[in-house]
Chains A and B, each alone.
Chain A
């Protein structure tokens, strides 16, 4: 079986199984959200100070909140079939537009955090595996456990105190400098400066996981026969480590990265709140408080699809790395 046919088969199977899963997720989330007391009309009335019964009824009729439950579900599903995610009562904008406006921010944060975590984790894990049992291994293991045990928002707050308040090197929140109106490279540099602390904060938890995983996987692979053969052939130890050991040790690592990529949307919500980063996690939290069901359903649906796509990507990557997988 060629590599291409294997990967095509995996992709086909995943898409085939994903459709009922996505449908079940939408229905489950819909009923879960409808269980929440209150709706958007109540929140809007509360923020306006007060509202008459007629105003509340008019608001509900406008957003379709007074129709029977199954009717609402049916209309939501039919809109979804036309790729229309609905309308947000709170932000007074189509949900798709809201999500697309914040999606790049979240993707920047997630990708840079995971990239940083993978690089740092693999490097630390390789160091720990090379000097297994000696003091670099022990020190890094303790450090990894410490990083794994600290809450992300606490590290974020301490980082703000150190780097923003005391040293003044990095900004403490937001994604761009307000009112600066930069373009091109200067704009990219500004966003990068703002993204550095949140991405590093998000990454700390995962660095610990990846370092320990890489260490365990490399120690496991180093005991295999083919590594002994490679050494006996006279290959340079670094080449053996990187090209033979690391490549096989990457399998469990890629599985974990895929799982984390999928779940990072919700997990980044707290970090985004600490750093006032305008991302999808904060959008979802605000939507829960404001009972904005369309936005919340849209974010949850997007997150589920992200998990499915991430799992598919990981399956394809592993099929590419390991010829034994079909």
Chain B
């Protein structure tokens, strides 16, 4: 008995805030103090690296990010400049490997610069949606009662409006610039995140560590943002990558219809402009579309990999 109590006294709690512990533990795996629990503490990073399709997704995504960052150096100048005779097929002109469009603009430059816009809009729209959704879901799931009812109603109202039409209306309210488009897509996509976060909070608010935090006198805000939210993150991380993918798809549909930002080159805009010459110059449709497929595929593969790595049930089965 005496030895037990001395062990309790000498064992130290790991230093650092709850966030750092949770994130580090989730990503890199907890320090293996107990051999028996080795399996359960494998981190996300390890899980991702062992999954071949997730690896492909990460490689593709890194290539796209590199291309986005290097675009002004690889293709200097404005991609909207007319540089060559129009309707040159890919491979016909050694200077412009992917050909030119109906106004003589370089297709390769357009695709490279379009990567910047797509990734930027995708990431910021997903970020805005996550922010709003996590806030609404956390407040509703934690407090319950009237607050939860009200927020659930608001979520329901936003879900019944068709999201694409909502995006179009919001872009029509503001002007069609990259900022407004990202804001619009974020506002249209927060209900999904809110539902997931609310479900997680309803489960987690009855956990023991919340009781411990409350008995230590932590305020509600500290419990929500400091204790529960770090533990509710795994499904949110998976949803984040899917949200970026769907944001890229929505943005490309918007630009295809001609409602996107006219001052930048986007993949959807290139497809929309190439629609007039569909019969003869179908490469103008095929090439930017292939770029969209690669980007969205990479994000979906990453999302699948994260889901497999973070989902404990699948891990048990494997």
A residues sitting closer than 8 Å to B (CB atoms) are 20-21, 24-25, 28-29, 32-33, 35-37, 145-146, 148-154, 157-158, 160-161, 165, 262-263, 265-267, 269-270, 273, 284-285, 288-289, 296, 299-300, 303-304, 307-308
Query: What 0/1 pattern do residues 259 to 298 of B give for CB contact below 8 A with A?
Result: 0000000001001000100110010011001001100110
A-B contact pairs, 23 of them (CB 8 A): A21-B156, A21-B160, A32-B169, A35-B173, A37-B173, A146-B297, A149-B300, A150-B292, A150-B293, A151-B292, A154-B285, A157-B289, A158-B289, A165-B278, A262-B160, A266-B161, A266-B162, A266-B166, A270-B164, A284-B165, A303-B165, A304-B160, A308-B160
Give the complex CA separation of A262 and B160 in angstroms. Answer: 8
| CA A249 to CA B95, docked complex, whole Å | 55
A229 CB, min distance to chain B CBs, angstroms:
21
Which residues of B sit under 8 angstroms from A148, Cβ to Cβ?
Answer: 300
Evaluate contact between B168 and A263: CB separation under 8 angstroms. no
Secondary structure type dominating chain B contacts = helix
Chain A contacts for B289, CB-based, 8 A: 150-151, 154, 157-158
How far is it, in angstroms, between the C-alpha of A161 and the C-alpha of B280 when the chains are bound?
Answer: 10
Q: How far is the CB of B87 from chain A (nearest CB, A)?
A: 16
Q: Is B301 an interface residue (CB 8 A)?
A: yes
B173 touching A32 by the CB < 8 A rule?
yes
Nearest 7 A/B pairs, CB to CB:
A266-B162, A154-B289, A149-B296, A149-B297, A304-B160, A266-B165, A307-B160
Select from chain A the residue with minimum beta-carbon distance to B272.
A153
Q: Which residues of B contact A24 (CB under 8 A)?
A: 153, 157
Max count, chain B CB within 10 A of own CB: residue among A35, A36, A154? A154
| A95 CB, nearest partner CB in chain B, Å | 16
Given A36-B169, A262-B160, A304-B161; A151-B245 close (CB under 8 Å): no
Q: Is the CB of A157 within 8 A of B160?
A: no
Instruction: Flag if B275 contacts A300 (CB, 8 Å).
Output: no
Q: In the complex, which residues of chain B have a beta carbon less than 8 angstroms from the beta carbon of A21?
A: 153, 156-157, 160
C-alpha spacing A36/B169, complex, angstroms:
8
- Is B82 an interface position by the 8 A CB rule? no
B163: chain A residues at CB < 8 Å are 263, 266-267
Given A24-B153, A161-B285, A288-B172, A153:B293 Cβ within 8 A: no
Say whether B300 contacts A269, CB under 8 Å. Answer: no
User: Which A residues are in CB contact (< 8 Å) with B153?
Assistant: 20-21, 24
Q: Tell me the minimal C-beta distance from B190 to chain A in angstroms.
A: 15
In contact, B160 and A288 (Cβ under 8 angstroms): no
Task: Say which residue of B161, B165, B278, B279 sits within 8 Å of A25 (CB atoms).
Answer: B161
In the complex, the answer to whether B275 meets A157 with C-beta atoms within 8 Å is: yes
The answer to whether B257 has its CB under 8 Å from any CB of chain A is yes
**Residues on A with beta carbons closer than 8 Å to the beta carbon of B279:** 161, 165
On whether the beta carbons of A145 and B169 are closer than 8 Å, the reply is no
Instruction: Say yes or no: B300 contacts A157, CB within 8 Å.
Output: no
Minimum CB distance partner of A284 in chain B: B165
Instruction: Give 8 new A-B contacts, CB below 8 A, not counting A266-B163, A288-B172.
Output: A35-B173, A36-B173, A165-B278, A165-B282, A265-B162, A266-B161, A266-B166, A288-B168
Say yes or no: A158-B245 contact (C-beta < 8 A), given A145-B300, A273-B257.
no
Are the C-beta atoms of A153 and B157 separated by less than 8 Å?
A: no
Residues of A within 8 A of B142 (CB): none
Q: Which residues of B contact A270 (CB under 8 A)?
A: 164, 253, 256-257
The reply to whether the CB of B100 lies closer than 8 angstroms to some CB of chain A is no
Interface residues of B in 289-314 (CB under 8 A from A): 289, 292-293, 296-297, 300-301, 304
Asked if B23 is at the interface (CB within 8 A of a chain A CB), the reply is: no
Would you list which residues of chain B between 155 and 206 have a CB under 8 Å from chain A? 156-157, 159-166, 168-170, 172-173
Assembled-state Cα–Cα distance A148/B293 (Å): 9
B241 at the interface (CB under 8 A from A): no
The docked-state distance in angstroms from the alpha carbon of A265 to that of B168 is 14
Most-contacted residue by chain A among B170, B249, B252 (CB, 10 A): B249
Tell me the smallest distance from the CB of B133 to a CB of chain A, in Å: 17
Report the nearest B residue to A23, measured CB to CB: B157
Q: How far is the CA of A24 from the CA of B301 in the complex (A)?
A: 38
A265: nearest chain-B partner, CB-CB: B162
Whether the Cβ atoms of A28 and B157 lie closer than 8 Å is: yes
Q: How far is the CA of A129 from the CA of B133 in the complex (A)?
A: 34
Give every chain B residue within 8 A of A32 (Cβ-Cβ).
Answer: 169-170, 173
Set A145, A158, A269, A300: member contacting B161, Cβ < 8 A = A300
- Within B108-164, which residues are at the interface with A (CB < 8 Å)? 153, 156-157, 159-164
* CA of A152 to CA of B256, assembled, Å: 11
Contact of A146 among B159, B164, B293, B304 (CB under 8 A): B293
Q: A263 to chain B: which residues have CB within 8 Å?
A: 162-163
Q: Is the CB of A149 within 8 A of B293?
A: yes
Inter-subunit contact B285/A145 (CB<8 Å): no
A220 to chain B, nearest CB (A): 9
CB pair A153 B253 closer than 8 Å: yes
Q: Which residues of the other chain, B, contact A308 by a CB distance below 8 angstroms?
A: 160
B296 contact set on A, CB distance < 8 A: 149-151
Q: Which residue from chain B places its CB closest to the CB of A219 in the assembled complex?
A: B317
Closest Cβ of chain B: how far from A75's Cβ, in Å? 22
B252 partner residues in chain A, CB cutoff 8 A: 151
- Are B172's CB and A36's CB within 8 A? yes
Q: How many Å lie between the Cα of A269 and that of B164 in the bound state?
A: 8
